[in-house]
Amino acid sequence: MSKTLDRIRKRPWVAYVDDERDSGSSIIVTLKDGYEFAGNEGCGVEGYENVANALSGTARNCIFNTQTIKPVKVVRTCPRCKTHAYHWGNDKGVKHRIACARCSHEWMGRIKKEEME
């Protein structure tokens, strides 16, 4: 067991670290709900080739806390039920996630700056 991987596991935003290098894959880091990788919007899972990359890639300044994002009402057409109305943008604090007010389908969509006010 790598001590560095244990250090990564102890980071408050890290949910799991799976070392899959033995099977030809990489070190897979999964973040807890409410966190995502700053350079990889909407994504809470990343793979690293080695322990050093995993350590630097999961540092505080690389992690984005989506819980600080405020929900907004946005006018959209739900891709599932086709309801064109106000839906919840930044649903549950996840940036660009929109939840249908009618069928509760969730999808990812851009939210414009002016909609944030």
Residues that bind Zn ion (CB under 5 A): 78, 80-81, 100, 102-103, 105
Instruction: Write down the least CB distance from residue 80 to Zn ion, Å.
Output: 5
CB of 20 to Zn ion, least distance (A): 37
Kindly state the smallest distance separating residue 102's Cβ from Zn ion, in Å: 5
Contacts of 99 (CB under 8 A, 6+ apart): 87, 88, 91, 92, 105, 106
> Which lies closer to Zn ion via its Cβ, residue 59 or residue 103?
103
Beta carbon of residue 114, minimum distance to Zn ion (angstroms, whole number)? 24
Question: Helix or strand or coil: residue 58?
Answer: coil
CA distances to 42, 60, 74, 76, 92 from 47, rounded to whole Å, are 15, 17, 34, 34, 25
Q: Output 32 or 102, the one with its CB closest to Zn ion.
A: 102
Closer by beta carbon to Zn ion, 38 or else 103: 103
Q: Which is nearer to Zn ion, 11 or 97 (CB)?
A: 97
Residue 46 CB burial class (10 angstroms; 0-12, 13-18, ≥19): buried
